[in-house]
Chain A
Amino acid sequence: MYQKELLRGSTETLLLAVVAEKPMYGYQLVKEIQRRSNGYFQFKEGTLYPALHRLENAGLIFGAWASATSGQPRRYYSITEAGLRHLSTKSEEWRSFAHAVHSVLQPATG
């Protein structure tokens, strides 16, 4: 349950972080996040698309149709300038939060 809540709060930041590197389509994003987290983040795949569309409506990413090598048309998402700024802010917030949690959880020394 706790893991689910954490994932819900961080989904959009995770998506931004992944598309910041290169344009990706939905299925590729799911696989990439699973790979990088060693399977820790297991999306209900359908929830990914509403999240992507929310980010697109907010102007943080944009989607464009392109044909894959197989000829299958896919919608590739890329990050925008506003998305990069947002990602930077969120990453900083997350680092501060993680550092604070870690400081509280680790046994007191000295």
Chain B
Amino acid sequence: MLDIPEYVSFLEQRLRIEPQKRSEVLSEVWSHVMERAGELRQFGLPPEVADQHAIRDFGDPKSIADQFYAAHSTGNATSILLAMAPHLILAAIFVLHLWTDYFWVAAALAVATLFTVGAWRRGLPLWTYPWVGYAVLLPALTMLLAFALIGYGLIQHIQYRSAPLTWWSYALMALWIPIATAITVMAVRRAVRHDWIVVSFAALPVPFLTLWFFALHWHGGVLVPNLIRTTEVDSATSSIFLALAVTTALFMRVGHRLWRVVILAVPSPVLAVVAFVFYAQSVANFDIFVAFTFSAGFLLSPSLFDRMVRRAIPRYLSRLTYPTAPL
């Protein structure tokens, strides 16, 4: 049988709500169960029996955790609109063909970063994660770019005794890599402490953006954008961001966890595949299958880190039973 601290710990491991709210909920539960147990002791029940009564009266921790999840995860109209906003801004940037204008891209990233810093201080409510996703993309992508450039420079240096960039550029990049890694890891760790699903929620546009970068590469790279920046292609890209905004709204509205997993695993990979087919124009079925599997696998992969970051449920707790029968 669980005692009161074990019962609260059992509930804590299953509460997948914002960390700040989680500690408030646990304080309330602790205070309630202790008061009930104290009252029963005053009625003359032995301490162990009183504790078991108090636990039984409070209810099954798994069911209570599910009810808290439903109570805290359904967004209202304002939070849904705020969550959709970054996708809508990108849809506007593409439909107005502004994505190659450094000013607008920098302005959008600055807004995302400001929102993320503000949200971080307010305990990262659910609607902020799409903003966090875009804000973290910048350090994550620049870190990968720095790795690639340093690697390329090293190969050039070994082969030709000269590197394409100056030594201080490489030094700056080498300095940036651990900083960018720390920012990315910190954001992912903080999100996983909330719930692995919110990491995937933040990463929703990544499969599509990856294919978009590939498409740019096929069309000559980001430095020759006119090859791809046609009205038709930019409008299609804009539609994908609109569809991501709708997916975000659905995710925010649905309170049930299983439906959220379905929303993460299906629409975003489908959108990535649609974009893939549109950009590449003729692709084999196998390539479509690989693109879909990669995208869905990527979005569900944070579940693998869940147990690593979250304090593992002690074995002794999973063996203990919760009293359901009258004592």
Interface residues of A (CB under 8 A from B): 25-27, 44-47, 49-51, 53-54, 57-58, 72-75
Contact = CB atoms under 8 A, between A and B. Distances in A.
Interface stretch (B64-72, B234-242, B266-274): B64-72
Contacts of A49: 25, 28-29, 32, 64, 68
Contact of A26 (B28, B64, B76): B28
Contacts of B27: 73, 75
A53 B35 CA distance: 20
A32 to B, nearest CB: 14
Interface string B43-61: 0000000000000011111
Given A53-B72, A57-B71, A44 B28 contact: no
A25 B28 CA distance: 9
A50 B29 contact: no
A53 B32 CA distance: 15
Contact of B71 (A25, A53, A72, A74): A53
Interface string B72-92: 101010000000000000000
Contacts of A44: 57-59
Contacts of A54: 71
A49 B67 CA distance: 9
Given A72-B31, A73-B27, A75-B24, A53 B68 contact: yes
B189 interface: no
Contacts of A27: 31-32, 35-36
A75 B63 CA distance: 22
In this complex, the member of B31, B32, B76 whose beta carbon has the largest number of chain A beta carbons within 10 angstroms is B32
B70 A50 contact: yes
B31 A46 contact: no
A1 B323 CA distance: 22
Contacts of A72: 31, 35
Nearest to B73: A57
Given A50-B64, A57-B76, A73-B27, A45 B70 contact: no
Contacts, number: 58
Contacts of B60: 46
Interface residues of B, number: 23
Contacts of B59: 44-47
B67 A50 contact: yes
5 contacts: A49-B25, A50-B67, A57-B71, A73-B31, A75-B27
Q: 5 closest pairs, A vs B, by CB? A: A46-B59, A50-B67, A46-B64, A44-B59, A50-B71
Contacts of A46: 29, 58-61, 63-64, 67
Given A27-B32, A44-B57, A57 B72 contact: yes
A16 to B, nearest CB: 15
Nearest to B54: A45
Given A49-B28, A49-B29, 14 more contacts: A25-B31, A26-B31, A44-B58, A46-B29, A46-B58, A46-B61, A46-B67, A49-B32, A50-B71, A53-B72, A72-B31, A74-B31, A75-B24, A75-B27
In this complex, the member of A27, A44, A46, A73 whose beta carbon has the largest number of chain B beta carbons within 10 angstroms is A46
B26 to A, nearest CB: 11
A39 B226 CA distance: 75
B68 to A, nearest CB: 5
Contacts of B71: 50-51, 53-54, 57
A75 B25 CA distance: 10
A45 B57 contact: yes
Contact of B64 (A47, A57, A58, A73): A47
